[in-house]
């Protein structure tokens, strides 16, 4: 007869066999083989293992053959049954007449074998004894052979457990090494900004009034923001590791997200010849349902990385509309830079926590090594996958796609879009083809029609040949002295006949206003709504008369963005209240401070003049922020006053409590001034 039929679980059996790494030098298994031969009084004893095609004699007594075909073998039959297989005379058994060990040397006539069963029940081989003459085992010998087979499997399990322990130990050692590197990075990461903060404050204390105080304050703020980001990264990573991070999806304005990103990223460019751009498809909706905090966190991490590793050229944050499915939209997010790129050796480690390229990159650029790991996990939680492409020396592109819901009001607004008034006609002046395309996209987002010019001379020619443009947008960093002919021509025109002239620069220019043109300067990256606001302000002022036309600087750097805002600050910590009041008053707000929730509530019941917005600490003596807000909301006359909570690392549960109490938003302390100002302006805008 042929070989036994193949087991239905053969793949699982072979997988179980591969899990055991057996060395030919294992003396324990060899001694068990010898003991089987001795107890059964047989000249030959074997421990055999069976793969898909062959039988391997791993431990042998009385036989010098290493392997034999599986077909028609004794062991192949043995593993098909749960108990001992005994063949007293192979010459009389037709199942084994073609077995090579029967037909040829050593001419086996007796066989007894027990299957080697894994804990999961898979037979991977056998322990057997053989003889060249017919024979028969006694009952005690059969029992002993079964017991020895169990001991063989126990020994194999110990070997397997030892190998797994080695692997686990290696993984633990690798993890410990990673954490050691992380702690070293943290030590350096904390010490550098703390040192800078201390030095700046010491200098500020010792400098005479009116000297370099403002620069020292900027240095101290920069260092404190760096410290805050490190703490935020560690906190977020720990929450991700413990599966404690939940999304807070709600209607959000894309414009609000872009304004925050613009404020935070533009301040990091410094003196680099680097252009920051937002490249947004015109058909990307303004309103989306998403976790604005986490989406902006991912884009900020990717944007900061791109700025950090790009010395010149450009960094582009691109959002593309890939289509709709009913009330959901498929948006593709990209962060593209022309920086140093990622070497092939480092690419497989990009998303590992606590890693940041090689040692030279860490020393040169700093950082915790957590940003990309956190970003990947956040994108996964949002339903996407963060990927990248990079060629060393030629920049990098990080990208992901999300399916986001669209609020009903956004759909209704789009249906009414055709009723809008005539759109402005705009001339875009940039020597950069990328710049012209991105600015044109930006204008189309606003519904503006565009003409393009690649130089000042070309723009001048367009102005002379065409009817008047409503606005001219100038990409200042790409132009040269020869391109000033355009501004010189515009200055000769009567003010009321001039197009609105807006320049785009790489960094804020506090000297703006000393020359007649441009009418406004915006710092890259350009946010469409800010451009529209500037255009409308200047155009409306010109209708009043030339004397009413202002020269406007960037809204992101406006000296008093909160001018005229009356604000109630509820904070029990005097130092925190003093710092917050100084920050808010610097931005133009009028601040009223109350020390706890009860004082805040009494302010509403006793004061005749209401406030525009409330910043409410959550944990306070006497009455906390939750109770104070609930009490304030009991009176319908105060329903429209926005209340923003101030908490320390507020999780989703805390945020939900804030909303239930009647608050509109929740900001984490310590807060960045730009984020706070944007949050306040955003709430006032909704009001």
The terminus-to-terminus CA distance of the chain in angstroms comes to: 89
Instruction: Map tokens 């202002």 to a residue.
Output: 550
Q: Determine the pLDDT at residue 399.
A: 96
Q: Give the tens place of pLDDT for each residue, 641-685.
A: 999 998 766 667 788 889 999 999 888 776 667 778 888 888 887
Q: Are 404 and 267 in contact (CB under 8 A)?
A: no
The region of weakest confidence among 568-572, 579-583, 586-590 is 579-583
Higher pLDDT, 287 or 10: 287
Q: Determine the pLDDT at residue 579.
A: 76
Question: E-assigned strands of 604-651?
Answer: 613-617, 643-647
Distance CA 85, CA 74 (A): 9
Phi, psi of 329 (to 5 degrees): -125, 145
DSSP bridge pairs for 449: 425
Q: Is the pLDDT of residue 56 over 60?
A: yes
The region of weakest confidence among 3-12, 55-64, 296-305 is 3-12
Higher pLDDT, 195 or 638: 638
Whose CA is closest to 111, among 26, 40, 9, 38? 40
Q: Exposed/middle/buried for 199, CB within 10 Å: 0-12, 13-18, 19+?
A: middle
3-class SS letters over 489-546: HHHCCCHHHCCEEEEEECCCCCCCCCCCCCCEEEECCCCHHHHHHHHHHHHHHHHHCH
Return the biggest CA–CA distance within the chain.
122
Q: Is the pLDDT of residue 252 over 50?
A: yes
Higher pLDDT, 128 or 639: 128
Average pLDDT, rounded, for the chain: 81
Q: Are 143 and 84 in contact (CB under 8 A)?
A: no
Residue 640 structure tokens: 């429209």
Higher pLDDT, 222 or 408: 408
Q: Are 501 and 475 in contact (CB under 8 A)?
A: no
Q: What residues contact 313, with CB distance under 8 A and at least 6 apart?
A: 274, 275, 337, 338, 339, 395
Tell me whether the omega of the peptide bond preceding residue 314 falls within 30 degrees of 0, making it cis. Answer: no
Question: E-assigned strands of 1-53?
Answer: 44-50
Phi, psi of 391 (to 5 degrees): -125, 125
Q: Determine the pLDDT at residue 548.
A: 46
Distance CA 101, CA 89 (A): 13
pLDDT band at 630; cut points 50, 70, 90: very high
Q: Return the percentage of the chain with pLDDT > 70, whole number.
A: 81
Q: Determine the pLDDT at residue 516.
A: 66
Distance CA 57, CA 45 (A): 10
Q: Which domains does the chain have, with CATH numbers?
A: 8-164 (3.30.450.40), 250-409 (3.30.565.10), 425-553 (3.40.50.2300), 566-685 (3.40.50.2300)
- Mean local confidence (pLDDT), 140-167: 88
Q: Exposed/middle/buried for 7, CB within 10 Å: 0-12, 13-18, 19+?
A: middle
Q: Determine the pLDDT at residue 5.
A: 55
Q: Determine the pLDDT at residue 347.
A: 85
Residue 497 structure tokens: 């006949």
pTM: 0.59
Q: Is the pLDDT of residue 238 over 70?
A: yes
Q: Exposed/middle/buried for 425, CB within 10 Å: 0-12, 13-18, 19+?
A: middle
Q: Are 523 and 505 in contact (CB under 8 A)?
A: yes
pLDDT band at 513; cut points 50, 70, 90: very low
Q: Give the tens place of pLDDT for each residue, 463-497.
A: 888 667 889 999 888 777 777 788 888 888 888 78
pLDDT band at 147; cut points 50, 70, 90: very high
Q: Is the pLDDT of residue 220 over 80?
A: no
Strand 449-453's sheet: what is its strand order?
Answer: 449-453, 425-429, 471-475, 500-505, 520-523
Q: Give the tens place of pLDDT for each residue, 319-362.
A: 999 998 877 899 999 999 999 998 888 888 888 766 655 554 55
Phi, psi of 56 (to 5 degrees): -110, 125
């Amino acid at each position: 007869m042929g070989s036994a039929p193949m087991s239905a679980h053969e793949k699982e059996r072979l997988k179980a066999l591969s899990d055991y790494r057996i060395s030919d030098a294992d003396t324990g298994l060899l001694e068990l083989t010898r003991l089987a031969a001795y107890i059964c009084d047989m000249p030959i004893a074997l421990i055999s293992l069976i793969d898909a095609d062959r039988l391997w004699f791993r431990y042998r007594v009385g036989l010098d053959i290493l392997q034999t075909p599986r077909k028609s073998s004794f062991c192949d039959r043995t593993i098909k049954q749960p108990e001992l297989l005994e063949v007293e005379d192979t010459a009389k058994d037709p199942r084994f007449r073609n077995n090579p060990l029967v037909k040829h040397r050593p001419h086996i006539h007796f066989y007894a074998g027990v299957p080697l069963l894994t804990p999961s029940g898979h037979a991977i081989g056998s322990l057997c004894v053989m003889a060249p003459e017919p024979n028969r085992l006694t009952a005690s010998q059969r029992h002993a052979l079964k017991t020895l087979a169990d001991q063989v499997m126990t020994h194999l399990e110990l070997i397997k457990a030892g190998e797994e322990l080695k692997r686990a130990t290696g993984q633990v050692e690798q993890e410990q090494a990673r954490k050691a590197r992380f702690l070293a990075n943290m030590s350096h990461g904390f010490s550098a900004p703390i040192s800078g903060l201390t030095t700046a404050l010491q200098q500020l204390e010792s400098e005479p009034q009116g000297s370099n105080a403002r620069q020292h304050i900027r240095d101290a703020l920069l260092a404190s923001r760096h410290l805050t980001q490190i703490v935020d990264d560690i906190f977020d990573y720990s929450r991700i590791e413990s599966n404690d991070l939940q999304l807070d999806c709600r209607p959000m304005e894309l414009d609000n997200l872009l304004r925050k990103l613009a404020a935070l990223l533009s301040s990091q460019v410094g003196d680099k010849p680097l252009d920051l751009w937002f490249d947004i498809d015109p058909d990307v909706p303004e309103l989306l349902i998403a976790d604005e905090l986490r989406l902006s966190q991912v884009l900020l991490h990717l944007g900061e990385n791109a700025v950090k590793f790009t010395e010149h050229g450009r960094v582009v944050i691109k959002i593309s509309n890939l289509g709709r499915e009913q009330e959901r939209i498929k948006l593709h997010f990209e962060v593209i830079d022309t920086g140093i790129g990622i070497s092939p050796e480092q690419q497989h480690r990009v998303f590992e926590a606590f890693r940041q390229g090689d040692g030279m990159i860490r020393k040169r650029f700093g950082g915790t090594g957590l940003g990309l790991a956190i970003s990947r996990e956040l994108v996964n939680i949002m339903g996407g996958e963060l990927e990248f492409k990079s060629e060393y020396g030629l920049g990098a592109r990080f990208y992901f796609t999300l399916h986001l819901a669209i609020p009903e009001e956004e759909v209704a607004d789009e249906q009414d879009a055709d009723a809008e008034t005539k759109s402005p006609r705009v001339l875009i002046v940039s020597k950069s083809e990328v710049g012209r395309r991105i600015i044109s996209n930006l204008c189309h987002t606003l519904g503006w029609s565009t003409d393009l010019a690649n130089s000042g001379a070309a723009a001048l020619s367009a102005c002379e040949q065409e009817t008047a443009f409503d606005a001219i947008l100038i990409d200042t960093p790409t132009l040269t002295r020869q391109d000033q002919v355009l501004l010189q021509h515009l200055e000769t025109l009567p003010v009321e006949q001039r197009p609105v002239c807006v320049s785009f620069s790489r960094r804020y220019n506090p000297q703006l206003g000393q020359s007649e043109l441009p009418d406004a300067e915006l710092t890259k990256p350009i946010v469409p709504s800010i451009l529209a606001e500037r255009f409308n302000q200047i155009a409306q002022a010109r209708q009043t008369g030339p004397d009413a036309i202002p020269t406007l600087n960037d809204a992101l750097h406006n000296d008093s963005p909160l001018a005229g805002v009356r604000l109630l600050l509820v904070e029990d910590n005097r130092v925190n209240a003093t710092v917050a009041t100084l920050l808010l008053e610097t931005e133009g707000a009028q601040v009223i401070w109350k020390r706890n929730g009860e004082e805040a509530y009494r302010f509403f019941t006793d004061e005749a003049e209401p406030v525009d917005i409330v910043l409410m600490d959550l944990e306070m003596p006497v009455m906390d922020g939750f109770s104070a807000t609930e009490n304030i909301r009991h009176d319908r006359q105060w329903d429209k006053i926005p209340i923003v909570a101030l908490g320390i690392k507020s999780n989703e549960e805390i945020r939900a409590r804030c909303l239930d109490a009647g608050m509109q938003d929740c900001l984490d302390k310590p807060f960045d001034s730009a984020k706070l100002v944007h949050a306040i302006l955003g709430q006032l805008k909704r009001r």
